[in-house]
């Protein structure tokens, strides 16, 4: 066993795979009486996750930055509630959380799905780099404020939709906001997703005694979302996934996951009985991921090879260090008691 790594971080042979869809994963599951919050639950794999959980009977609350877009995309879906929230605005997170807690409801599922990818250098009002602010600090803040409702559920799960992109960078504890080093969007994205993995590891350790379990996950290489709307096309050409004109290569496109397949691992982590006594793990393809020890040959033009988890992103010492840094940078203590 690798030191400081959760011994449960190994595949279970779940019976599902990269081709499984969210509907297949949830078949036979009744979520009547359950309450879920899904950030970004109105677009891409988040929207598919909303549809599937709501169809199984859950009440799904979607905090959205773009209310009009959310209302349009969610039209016709039952069992949903729409609220205003911006993950880069601390006051917005506080307002949303206070409103939910005032309802007195328990929270069975918190799915931190919202994220941005490969954007130019931007900073929020606190000076935090935007990918780190949106993909990680927002979910740390939201989870902290909803902690009492998660405890009330007695069996809650907290999911962080991470990415294989965590392999692009460990967390830079010395310069997380690119104040001293040159900004590279891939490094910014990578460390934000490494942070998601580390957060889940630390959160699970704290939540176990309250029957709260935490998971991070890679949805897979998914075609048909708007996540990459700002991504520089040169990066795709460099990776070999697109031709010199910026068009995705047909042989790559055919190997990418559909949106229903991309949402499957989220739904599996949220509902699978196989994870009843397991937490703090990083998952992919509807199973717990294999630790990448350098034996996996990764090729961006072969999506099936984009798998595995780096040990630095699930290391317990790194996780505790990030927890403390997060409290310092955000200016509050996440007292998970």
CA distance 335 to 112: 19
Whole-Å CA distances, 316 to 13, 189, 304:
25, 21, 28
Interval 89-93 mean pLDDT:
97
Interval 304-318 mean pLDDT:
94
Tokens representing residue 332 in the block: 């509050």
Query: Quick check: 279 and 215 in contact, CB under 8 A?
Result: yes
The 10s digit of each residue's pLDDT in 8-66 is: 999 999 999 999 999 999 999 999 999 999 999 999 999 999 999 999 999 999 999 99
Looking at the predicted structure, is the pLDDT value of residue 230 above 80?
Answer: no
Identify the structural domains of the chain with CATH numbers, from first to last. Answer: 22-330 (3.40.50.720)
The 10s digit of each residue's pLDDT in 126-178 is: 999 999 999 999 999 999 999 999 999 999 999 999 999 999 999 999 999 99
Q: What is the pLDDT of residue 1?
A: 39
Q: What is the pLDDT of residue 255?
A: 66
Nearest CA to 71 out of 87, 58, 85, 82 is that of 82
Q: What is the pLDDT of residue 238?
A: 62
For the chain, the helix, strand and coil percentages under 3-state DSSP, each to the nearest 5:
40, 15, 45
Interval 226-249 mean pLDDT:
62
Tokens representing residue 245 in the block: 């004109």
Per-residue confidence band for 305, with pLDDT thresholds at 50, 70 and 90:
confident
Residue labelled with tokens 């994963």: 25
Q: What is the pLDDT of residue 256?
A: 84
Q: What is the pLDDT of residue 236?
A: 60
Helix ranges (DSSP H) in 171-315? 185-207, 233-239, 250-253, 259-262, 264-271
Q: Which of 102-106, 124-128, 202-206, 230-234 shows the lowest mean pLDDT across its residues?
A: 230-234
Q: Which of 83-97, 151-165, 223-237, 283-297 shows the lowest mean pLDDT across its residues?
A: 223-237
Per-residue confidence band for 226, with pLDDT thresholds at 50, 70 and 90:
low
CA distance 92 to 174: 28
The set of catalytic residues is 189
Per-residue confidence band for 3, with pLDDT thresholds at 50, 70 and 90:
low
Q: What is the pLDDT of residue 298?
A: 87
């Amino acid at each position: 066993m690798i030191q400081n790594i959760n011994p449960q971080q190994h595949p279970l042979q779940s019976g599902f795979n990269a081709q499984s869809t969210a509907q297949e994963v949830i078949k036979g599951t009744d979520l009547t009486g359950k309450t879920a919050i899904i950030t970004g639950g109105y677009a891409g794999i988040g929207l598919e996750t909303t549809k599937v959980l709501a169809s199984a009977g859950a009440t799904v609350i979607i905090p959205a930055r773009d209310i009009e877009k959310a209302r349009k995309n969610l039209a016709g879906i039952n069992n949903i509630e729409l609220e205003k929230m911006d993950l880069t605005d601390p006051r917005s997170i506080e307002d949303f959380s206070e409103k939910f807690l005032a309802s007195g409801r328990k929270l069975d599922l918190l799915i931190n799905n919202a994220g941005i990818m490969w954007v130019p250098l931007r900073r929020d009002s606190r000076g935090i780099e935007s990918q780190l602010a949106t993909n990680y600090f927002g979910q740390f803040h939201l989870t902290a404020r909803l902690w009492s409702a998660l405890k009330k559920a007695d069996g809650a799960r907290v999911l962080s939709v991470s990415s294989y992109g965590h392999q692009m960078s460990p967390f830079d504890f010395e310069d997380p906001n690119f104040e001293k080093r040159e900004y590279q969007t891939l490094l910014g994205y990578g460390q934000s997703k490494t942070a998601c993995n580390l957060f889940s590891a630390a959160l699970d350790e704290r939540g176990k005694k309250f029957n709260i379990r935490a998971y991070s996950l890679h949805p897979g290489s998914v075609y048909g979302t708007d996540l990459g709307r700002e991504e520089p096309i040169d990066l795709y050409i460099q990776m070999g996934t697109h031709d010199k004109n910026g068009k995705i290569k047909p042989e790559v496109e055919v190997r990418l996951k559909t949106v229903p397949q991309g949402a499957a691992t989220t739904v599996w982590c949220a509902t699978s009985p196989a994870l009843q006594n397991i937490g703090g793990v990083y998952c992919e393809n509807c199973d717990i991921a294999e630790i990448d020890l350098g034996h996996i040959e990764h090729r961006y033009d072969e999506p099936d090879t984009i798998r595995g988890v780096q040990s630095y992103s699930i290391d317990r010492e790194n996780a505790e260090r990030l927890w403390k840094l997060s409290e310092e940078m955000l200016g509050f203590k996440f007292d998970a008691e």
